[in-house]
Structure 1
Amino acid sequence: MISTRFDRRAALKGGTAAVAVSLLGAAVARAESTAFRHGVASGDPLPNAVILWTRVTPSEDALPGSGAGAPVSVRWEIASDEAFGSLAASGTHTATADSDHTVKIDATGLAADRTYFYRFTALGQTSPVGRTHTAPADSATPDRLRLGVVSCANWEAGYFSAYRHLADRGDLDAIVHLGDYLYEYQRGEYGGRTGSVRWHEPAHEIVSLADYRIRHAQYKTDPDLMTLHARLPFICTWDDHETADNTWSGGAENHQPATEGDFGIRKAAALQAYLEWMPVRTGADRRLYRRLRFGTLAELSMLDLRSYRSEEAEAGAGWREIDSPDRTITGKDQMDWVQAGLVSAPVTWKLIGNPVMIAPLVFPPLDPAASAAFTTALGLPRSGIPANPDQWDGYTADRTRLLRTITDNKVSDVVFLTGDIHSSWGADVPLDAAAYPNGPTAGVEFVVPSITSMSIGDTIGGAPRTAAVPIEGTVKGINRHLHYTELDSHGYGVLHVDADQAQMDWYYVADVADPNTAVRHGASYGVRRGGRIEPRATPMV
């Protein structure tokens, strides 16, 4: 059912009240400003710097993707007070059609662990005011770090109420977005449980640079997403749908060269639009894998598991390829980078922003030594048949390289933060799943559900928490390292890290088709330093 209704709350809750007036402006930017109709955002906080973002619309014929519009001089300001009486940095930037009139500023010279407010002015108009926060100094020992963790937001499948609930919290330091920030499909192709609640723009599948720009711009008009961007810095990586479903280095399942042209051109267009429209910091190499640090407490390594990976192995005969050491999900340079970073990390908690699930999900887990003759004869992967070879299960040599680096070097307190599969999981990450709970583990994994994209339970049909429940039990029974799974619900995670423990709290919205839906706490799992995953009775407060 198509609906155009979208009501906004009149007030914000709790500790956010002090900045409610300015930050609510982000949710209604289109009504208040014709120049800054896509809001403001910040990202990739460092101790002395943060990325600031906006988009300027110079005229009605210079809409996103148009390639039209004269250059516009934009002033930016960042201050320690909301009244901008004490500027920490400022400057001007010329927004042009070459970058779709987007503005990205790496504001430097800031103080560590400090809240700042920022804004832009152009064409006689002032943008909504955003709020951001710098990271602690590398030598600092913060009491805790608390991150909102999200993935998989499909415009047509539902409203982004999960973003609203995250924005209403007053206790988060940043938002980690693990990919599928947007979807590439044509209008009506991939909706939600009850169909599409709103339409994609453009109407066709996005392929060209103009297409990707228009789709990014549409997502940036969602009021809940706009408000969250204005409230907190984002730390983002991409998964496949920012380009095309099941993207790999040389193509994608959802790319047909005969009708959609050269994949290299499409991939370059998707990357250009992503770098224009997202508050991410990249160098001249334009690589998305990067590392951010939060004092001596934690370091977050964000992976890019689409740009360099080998093509996904096909079921059946393709299973013979899964264990090949020539296949990669990270690419050699990224693998070297993440291995070196884990071994040398001068922090307590090593967090990995990991777009696709790394814990084995196989049927059944097999002991490689005992089953070698069997698996060789049948052409099966040595560790078992993967449920989804698009995950690390389809690239076992790379997974073994990474996990052995962790276990051989006695790297402790590794936490993988994962999205992609539209469901919730909590797991130990064993070196050998068949031997679990004996044998070494390389850390824990917390997988967050989708914001709106169809869950496994949605696909099965029936009432929520009915048909999916026995499947959850079966999966956990076969894969003993999986301690929590919930296949129905949509929502987000909140990761709490302190000197002694890391805990993930899962929150679920009641109905993604209702823009005013409520949210509830679903489950909590944690890990103590040097330990394994365990259930927790209550969320962190």
Structure 2
Amino acid sequence: MSQIRRRSLIKAGGVLAGAMSIGGLAATASASGSVFAHGIASGDPNPDGVVLWTRVTPEPDALPGSGLGAACAVDWEVAADEGFANVVARGSLITGARRDHTVKVDVAGLPAGQWLWYRFRALGEVSRTGRTRTAPAADAALQRLRFGVVSCSNWQAGHFAAYRHLAARGDLDAVLHLGDYLYEYAPGEYQARDVVVRPHDPPVEMTDLGHYRRRHAQYKTDPDLADLHASVPFVVTWDDHESANDAWSGGAENHTEGAEGSWADRRAASQRAYAEWMPVRYEPGGVLHRRLRFGALAELSMLDLRSYRSQQVATPLDPGIGDPARTITGDEQMRWLTDGLANSTAQWKLIGNPVMIAPVRFPSTLSIEERRAIGELTGTPEVEGLPYNVDQWDGYTADRDEVLGVLHERGITDTVFLTGDIHSAWAAELPFSPATYPLDRNSVGTELVCTSVTSDNLDDILRVPPRTASPAVESAIRANNPHVKHLDFDSHGFSVLDVTAERVQMDWFALEDRTQPSTGAQRTVSFEVPAGSQQVHQVSEGIR
């Protein structure tokens, strides 16, 4: 999502796994020394496996992105108990500078639906112990499923207290990170109300492989993010800032061809660093979109809406918005998505969706300042004085019509889009025919949007206290978009999604002060989607 316009400024390796037997890890070895300075993580849980991740520093000058440091052996093990008395899998591998000394192991043969513990050993040091969970068997009857949901975590705009609160819960099966896990900007380019809370490293905009590796490494040193990664598996996808603002298949708003090299080289660098540094079943040259099954209760489809998309149109008056030749998903991913929806045997079809799919028409009653602020928030042009978000599905209406058409024509129920990107909380229905809604309340799905972890939102852009200017703007947008049932333009924080056979419920939590690492968080609102309804309703009680 666009937060800053460049023109307004002055300005791998494969997944590795080993089957070699290793001895028990020495209990007296350090679990917090210099070798494992970037923590540990797990992700992409399957019924029989999970991805494990770490990074080793074999010598002091083998810093991330440096290309320095000798290759070294890394041992790993997974146990059914925290004391590692019952080890269920172990192995060894070699990592080196070629993959920035990162380690990613796709462990298979694990028991389904169980909490497990894991750790690594290298150069005489033992990592901290991590906890992860495999998915239940594909046909398992689950009573409930619970996810943390986050997006848009800008290091420069604050501390990641949202991750601390999620880690402290202890009741999550996984965390969904819906994009903008990190940001590409240099210090002074995008932060908290123009104040750099903590500066990015390297102190330049990321453009090459070394930059991307160093930035990933910096984010992994955040203590709250490290604790969350060590406590629960992540399921991630990227949006634009993992590469550059408003990225599309052939370029990005925040990329100058020539001066910053070719877009193909920059994108390849960002994707390689992402593959190296994230606990995800993705390697450069492969596909990021994938589907995870959680028993008979839910199926989660994670989308990639940057790699294949056509360039954004310059204005919503451009007829290209509805051109079937333009795409946000790409043809192959669209077939994968619609076939998956049509053929799913899971009750709930959850879709990890980096940018909003619900149509949004901005009202003409907003002030000039409010229009400009929304334009900056959504990163979209103003047409006849009104902002319009052409970076979301609103700019690719043929693709949206195809997805919603499949839901309508096939009578598919219980589809919920889980979305990030826009730094605000939304609960919306997805009308098959927006022009006749709500007289014809034919909703074919729902969308729940999480706030940013730290990135600026409307009150920050307007430079006003929270809940002063935004409520009037939110009311005007809801009046102009009756399918939008909730909107909060001011909060930073996280969400928790609870899934049962009877309903899906999301609770939104707001941080008191994103610039303070010890800040508290409070639940602000809860909405549910009753099974079979394709509608959202506010509920008074939070998830228990």
Q: TM-score, normalised by structure 1?
A: 0.90
1:409 is matched with 410
Q: Does 1:348 align with 2:347?
A: yes
Letter in 2 for 1:402: V
- 1:208-287 to structure 2, matched below 5 A, reads 208-282=208-282, 285-287=285-287
Q: Distance in 1 between matches of 2:387 and 2:457?
A: 19
Report if the CA contact (8 A) 1:356-1:392 is conserved: yes
2:330 is matched with 331
1:377 is matched with none
Q: Distance in 2 between matches of 1:439 and 1:124?
A: 63
1:478 is matched with 480
1:535 is matched with 538
Per-residue CA distance 1:33-91 (angstroms, 9 max, x = gap): 11000000000000000000000000111100011111110000000011111111000
1:79 is matched with 79
2:357 is matched with 358
Offset at 1:337? 0.1
Offset at 1:116? 0.4
2:496 is matched with 494
In 2 relative to 1, CA 284–187 (structure 1 residues): closer, same or farther, beyond 3 Å? closer
Offset at 1:324? 0.9
2:458 counterpart (452, 456, 459): 456
Letter in 1 for 2:102: T
1:291 is matched with 291
Q: Distance in 2 between matches of 1:537 and 1:196?
A: 37
Letter in 2 for 1:288: L
Report if the CA contact (8 A) 1:30-1:36 is conserved: no
2:167 is matched with 167
Offset at 1:296? 0.2
Report if the CA contact (8 A) 2:349-2:415 is conserved: yes
Per-residue CA distance 1:81-109 (angstroms, 9 max, x = gap): 11111111000010111110000001111
Q: Distance in 1 between matches of 2:30 and 2:528?
A: 41
- Structure 2 unmatched runs, 5+: 1-28, 365-385
Q: Distance in 2 between matches of 1:210 and 1:283?
A: 18
Per-residue CA distance 1:19-41 (angstroms, 9 max, x = gap): xxxxxxxxxx9993110000000
Structure 1 counterpart SS, 2:259: helix
Q: Distance in 2 between matches of 1:87 and 1:94?
A: 21
- 1:26-105 to structure 2, matched below 5 A, reads 32-105=32-105
Report if the CA contact (8 A) 1:153-1:181 is conserved: yes
In 2 relative to 1, CA 426–195 (structure 1 residues): closer, same or farther, beyond 3 Å? same
Per-residue CA distance 1:111-145 (angstroms, 9 max, x = gap): 00101000000000000110000000001011000
Structure 2 counterpart SS, 1:93: strand
Structure 1 counterpart SS, 2:322: coil
- 1:417-456 to structure 2, matched below 5 A, reads 417-437=418-438, 438-456=440-458
Offset at 1:258? 2.8
Letter in 2 for 1:448: C
Q: Does 1:151 align with 2:151?
A: yes
Per-residue CA distance 1:438-463 (angstroms, 9 max, x = gap): 15222110000000000122111211
Offset at 1:364? 6.4
Q: Distance in 1 between matches of 2:458 and 2:353?
A: 20
Q: Distance in 1 between matches of 2:31 and 2:197?
A: 22
Letter in 2 for 1:423: S
Letter in 2 for 1:352: I
Structure 1 counterpart SS, 2:451: coil
2:122 is matched with 122
Offset at 1:354? 0.2
Letter in 1 for 2:271: L
Report if the CA contact (8 A) 2:31-2:125 is conserved: no
Per-residue CA distance 1:471-505 (angstroms, 9 max, x = gap): 00000000000000000010111011001100110
Aligned length: 495
In 2 relative to 1, CA 121–519 (structure 1 residues): closer, same or farther, beyond 3 Å? same
Letter in 2 for 1:446: L
Q: Which range is displaced more, 456-465 or 104-113?
A: 456-465
1:509 is matched with 511
Q: Distance in 1 between matches of 2:69 and 2:130?
A: 26
1:521 is matched with 523
